[in-house]
Amino acid sequence: MECPHLSSNISGAFDSSRFPNGTPSSWCCNVCRSNKSPWICLTCLMVHCGRYVNGHAKKHFEENQVLCVSQRKGEKHEKEKIHHSVCMDCSSYSVFCYRCDEFVVNDTKLGQVQKLREHLQSLRNLGNTCFMNAILQSLSNIEQFSCYFKELPAVALRSGKTAGRRMYHTRSQGDNSVSLVEEFRKTLCSLWQGNQTAFSPDSLFYAIWKIMPSFRGYQQQDAHEFMRYLLDHLHRELQYSRNGASHPVSPQDGVRLSSTDGKCCTNGTASVVTSIFGGILQNEVNCLICGTESRKFDPFLDLSLDIPSQFRQKRNKDQEPVPTCTLRDCLHSFTDLEELDDTELYYCHKCKKRQKSTKKFWIQKLPKVLCLHLKRFHWTAFLRNKVDTYVEFPLKGLDMRGYLLEPEKSLPGSCLYDLVAVVVHHGSGVGSGHYTAYGSHEGHWYHFNDSTVTLTNEDTVRKAKAYILFYVERTGQVKLF
């Protein structure tokens, strides 16, 4: 959120001699001496423990609030200048205001929050952001996609920034508008520079906080959900800044398909996102009573595939082992004819009421980069469980021809895809665990585990319990527009 209390709560100058020794994440609470979750008050630079330890950072704020109110009783104007309400997490460098009771995403006119963050930041750990790191590393290995942003001049974004502010403007002090495209571009440019020190995508992360409120804070998030939000916002911002011109599109315009070039366009104008990741599904629904057939076309940026239930069963030692689930099994399950259950009755316009029906998906147009999401998390009555089934997937030559609506119209070899990146979730639940990624770069496979990058081999990649798979079309270079 945008906090109005920063200017009155942040110390004018940060004296290094007032900071404790050691790295900020190891600092201890001034009251209980705990080094778990240290928070520093931005008014007096005293360190206390966070709310999930003994809560001394909050008590520090409350004690000073009572003191200020008692000393200035009846002076309403002075009461608004209460200090000690804004703290910074010494591990993740996020800022929290106790008066707003929320994390803060804005800064002062002088940029004091960012200056302090840069002063303290000695580690490359932003908290539970492995979900973001795994997606960024995967997207950086998609050459057609990352090269577009790397080669995009920063100056080219400025001309479209004013138009973009209509969507992303803020009301804080000064010009705090952010460009997700620009921060994403800078991140991609830094990832493969070969530096010995790890790159910290903190600027991108705080831009995401401004633009995508659901990802604020430092709790674990779903990598697939984050990827969809990221691609969607990149697409929308590029619509506004393409060629330095404004292309305003109302959210009510929904999804549009261009009949001239067959491109998948979300909310109107195509972008590099829809040009590379965009495909088209044909959804066929048949009424089982009168036989009426309904067809509609659905653009997609990725396909979410169920792991068939027969592969989820756990067998005892005395029973026969469950056969290995393959990616082809998941694709067949997605495209096979399915009878809709009673909760999904189809409204038949001929029968004039909801009737039992069947549904089937066909792929009308394949994307340049095929993103396949394996639905490993599902809700039970009380919690969200994880499907830990291993799914066998090919590294080369995934043939999608059998899932096309009109395979005879495709060119020979045009439906073959090669794997370029894999996102893996380690752990038992969506709100916990850890994300890593495998990526192919210049003929070699690498394992990306936050700031640690190690060379690996194809056999290791094949054994991974994939969560998201990125396949690149084998034929030639991608023509963006």
Structure tokens at 277: 């990741």
> What is the structure's pLDDT at 367?
94
Average pLDDT (231-242) is 85
Question: Cα(415)–Cα(260) distance, rounded to whole angstroms?
Answer: 22
Q: Is the pLDDT of residue 107 over 90?
A: no
Structure tokens at 167: 């969507």
8 A C-beta contact, residue 28 and residue 37: no
DSSP string for 130-195: HHHHHHHHHHHT-HHHHHHHHTS-HHHHHTTHHHHHHHH---SSS-----HHHHHHHHHHHHTS--
Share of the chain above pLDDT 70, in %: 72
pLDDT digits (tens, 9 = 90+) for 146-193: 888 888 765 444 434 333 333 333 323 333 456 889 888 888 877 765
Q: What confidence tier does 431 reach under pLDDT thresholds 50, 70, 90? A: low
Q: Name residues whose C-beta falls within 8 Å of residue 232's C-beta, 6 or more positions apart in sequence.
A: 266, 273, 301
Give burial (CB, 10 Å; 0-12/13-18/19+) of 459.
exposed
Give the H or E element holding residue 70.
helix 56-71
Among all chains, which residue has been given the structure tokens 């940026």?
A: 301
Q: Which 3 state secondary structure label does DSSP give 50?
A: coil
Q: What confidence tier does 102 reach under pLDDT thresholds 50, 70, 90? A: confident
8 A C-beta contact, residue 257 and residue 286: no
**1-123: CATH number:** 3.30.40.10
Question: Cα(374)–Cα(143) distance, rounded to whole angstroms?
Answer: 23
Structure tokens at 284: 């066929």
Average pLDDT (321-338) is 90
Domain map (residue ranges) of the chain: 1-123
pLDDT digits (tens, 9 = 90+) for 110-150: 888 877 776 664 334 455 678 888 999 999 999 889 888 88
Question: Cα(12)–Cα(5) distance, rounded to whole angstroms?
Answer: 14
Question: Cα(354)–Cα(365) distance, rounded to whole angstroms?
Answer: 30
Share of the chain above pLDDT 90, in %: 25
Q: Which residues are catalytic?
A: 130, 434
Question: Cα(183)–Cα(308) distance, rounded to whole angstroms?
Answer: 39
> What is the structure's pLDDT at 438?
96
Structure tokens at 236: 């929308």
> What is the structure's pLDDT at 279?
93
pLDDT digits (tens, 9 = 90+) for 243-299: 433 333 333 333 343 333 334 455 567 899 999 999 999 988 888 888 888 888 899
Structure tokens at 359: 């549904």
> What is the structure's pLDDT at 332?
93
pLDDT digits (tens, 9 = 90+) for 367-386: 999 999 999 987 766 666 88
